Structure 1
Amino acid sequence: MSNPSSKVIITCAVTGSAHVPSMSEYLPITPDDIKHQALEAAEAGAAILHLHARNPEDGRPTPSPEIFRRFVPAIAAQTDAVINISTGGSTRMTLDERLAYARVAKPEMCSLNMGSMNFSLHPVAARMSSWRFDWEKDYVEGMEDMIFRNTFRDIKNILTEFRDYGTRFEFECYDVGHLYSLAHFIDIGLIKPPFFIQSVFGILGGIGHDPENLSMMRATADRLFGRENYHLSILGAGRHQMSLVTMGAIMGGNVRVGLEDSVYLSRGVKAKSNAEQVRKIRRILEELSFDIATPADARAMLGLKGRDNVSL
């Protein structure tokens, strides 16, 4: 969608399910840590908070609504930021497990991966010298033989169910084919504009981090949807985070940062919090004369139903 006001939405993905605690001592794994880091990120300028849950005992990703309830309502009580509940979970979860809390919360936004795919960080395991918890090594190495599942029927059923809740989506597109899958669901009437497309670069199994790929994804989305009908956001995984999201903003897009996507702030320097990444990209954007979207701006831009209509 064209952005005449030059306002950029910052999404912060607070913890995710791909990184394990041994990759960074700063990765939030307890409900209190997730809450604290999410609130700090919102205060720093994140208009949208993308949330996963973890077992507080060992940091393992969990779909448990009980665990989500230990931090999501508290976040909602202390910030107006848009709360976005993942439906991605992890490759170890069933579809019903991944949807469990979103079905209860009926949030303003959920993430939705636009296809089944290989999704792996397994090469990282060879670079790890020690592991904090005994589940982590098998979890990371096991990604080599795991598939993230979202079939066309899965996606259709999610869109149909959540349409009744008034929930809108962060459509996660890891490759050009995912844009065409999104176009299919638009063509059959299950998705209406404005669309929020999260283009993801640098995940093994998806499109690479080359800058030319960002131009290709942007041009393809323009051709399929018309720029007036969608808002693009950019996610650069790992060390490509800041450079790609900055390029994306210059191309008229929005940005996503957070410890789900990268545990680093700069080369060799770990981010001590999600807020550090938010503050960094905010500074870069403001120095480029962009305005940072507030939660109210994000709601208006994305056509969200508002906080009063959720069950967090």
Structure 2
Amino acid sequence: MNTPGHKVIISCAITGATHVPTMSEHLPLTPAQIRDQAIDAAHAGAAIIHLHAREPADGRPTPSPEVFAQFVPAIAEATDAVINITTGGSTRMTLEDRLAYPLQAAPELCSLNMGSMNFSIHPVASRISSWRYPWEKDYVEGMEDMIFRNTFKDIKRILQDLGGKGTRFEFECYDLGHLYNLAHFVDQGLIKPPFFIQSVFGILGGMGADPENMITMRTTADRLFGRDNYQFSVLGAGRHQMRLVTMSAILGGNVRVGLEDSVYIAKGVKAESNAQQVAKVRRILADLSFEIATPAEARAMLALKGRDSVTL
């Protein structure tokens, strides 16, 4: 059940590296589009803004620090939201690629996938007959034979290199074993509470979007870490987004929305912006009598180093 007095952190993942431009004309691709949608999402109530970068010309995912620099400082200047930079990038990027901007920026928060895995949306390709850009078809179909790599050594390096700069992590857990991977690094002394656990449901290669899986993740995290030592959050992919994040709040957790996770706002209806998804989940939470965490409250809940300690 919900923890008394618990305030819900809303995270918003603005663009990601999984959806391609053909899937939605509203997916932000250019630095200006990412900047504007991120600022609007923060003003709509997102305390955390999760960011990837894309090539301005065609929307291809990129790890380029030069592209990140075209929108991250502007978001930080216009909002008080926590800036969360991906270390996941895409399956096409090396670890060096993925760490290029995070190590330069040393933000308050970075995402960290807690294991190697199959990660794919390749079945979607069969439902698309016309592609907006030439790279997209091979990118989506090619996921069938791609692995997202984060070995124990990779994770250790990220924890040491970024953790040494005071960055904390959104631990993305796509399967039950990822919680045990997290516990391994806790036992190694590389991670200290409070942990921010982002449970991911509905991605092919990870856990299915069954409510029972969420209960399993929540109770397993309780056994491994103790409920007072972590913040639980949920990401529901695609059509599963709103119902699963609502269940997370009811279980005492937090929520993540955004066009990285789903390009829809309702069945068959494309979301016109990230802010629209934030506004919808905020309305649902308010109707259920939940209070929404401000960026300052999110920083306190996650023990972040604070905006003053970051130069973006």
| TM-score band, normalised by shorter chain | over 0.9
Number of paired residues?
Answer: 312
Unaligned runs of 5+ in 2: none
SS in 2 for 1:112: strand
Give the letter aligned to residue 132 of structure 2.
R
**Is 1:258 equivalent to 2:246 in the alignment?**
no
Q: Corresponding residue for 2:209?
A: 209
After superposition, residues 141-156 of structure 1 pair within 5 angstroms as 141-156=141-156
| Counterparts of 2:59 and 2:157, CA distance in 1 | 30
Unaligned runs of 5+ in 1: none
Contact kept, 8 Å, 2:2 with 2:253, in 1: the verdict is: no
C-alpha displacement of 1:2: 7.7
Q: Corresponding residue for 1:198?
A: 198
C-alpha displacement of 1:176: 0.2
| Counterparts of 1:173 and 1:247, CA distance in 2 | 17
Contact kept, 8 Å, 1:2 with 1:228, in 2: the verdict is: no
SS in 2 for 1:198: strand
Cα deviation digits, residues 4-60 of structure 1 (max 9, x gap): 322100000000000000000000000000000000000000000000000000000
| Counterparts of 1:275 and 1:3, CA distance in 2 | 27
C-alpha displacement of 1:179: 0.2
Cα deviation digits, residues 139-187 of structure 1 (max 9, x gap): 0000000000000000011101112100000000000000000000001
Cα deviation digits, residues 204-246 of structure 1 (max 9, x gap): 0000001100000001000111001000000000000000000
C-alpha displacement of 1:126: 0.4
Percent identity between the aligned chains? 75
| Counterparts of 1:107 and 1:6, CA distance in 2 | 25
| Counterparts of 1:295 and 1:17, CA distance in 2 | 25
Q: Corresponding residue for 2:167?
A: 167
Q: Corresponding residue for 2:6?
A: 6
Give the letter aligned to residue 258 of structure 1.
G
| Counterparts of 2:59 and 2:257, CA distance in 1 | 20
After superposition, residues 234-273 of structure 1 pair within 5 angstroms as 234-273=234-273
| Counterparts of 1:127 and 1:189, CA distance in 2 | 47
SS in 1 for 2:177: helix
Contact kept, 8 Å, 2:197 with 2:230, in 1: the verdict is: yes
C-alpha displacement of 1:310: 1.1
| Counterparts of 2:2 and 2:250, CA distance in 1 | 12
| Counterparts of 2:137 and 2:277, CA distance in 1 | 27
After superposition, residues 69-148 of structure 1 pair within 5 angstroms as 69-148=69-148
Q: TM-score, normalised by structure 2?
A: 0.99
Q: Corresponding residue for 1:67?
A: 67
Cα deviation digits, residues 267-287 of structure 1 (max 9, x gap): 000000000000000000000
Contact kept, 8 Å, 2:106 with 2:165, in 1: the verdict is: yes
| Counterparts of 1:245 and 1:74, CA distance in 2 | 29
Contact kept, 8 Å, 1:39 with 1:78, in 2: the verdict is: yes
Give the letter aligned to residue 129 of structure 1.
S
Give the letter aligned to residue 136 of structure 1.
E
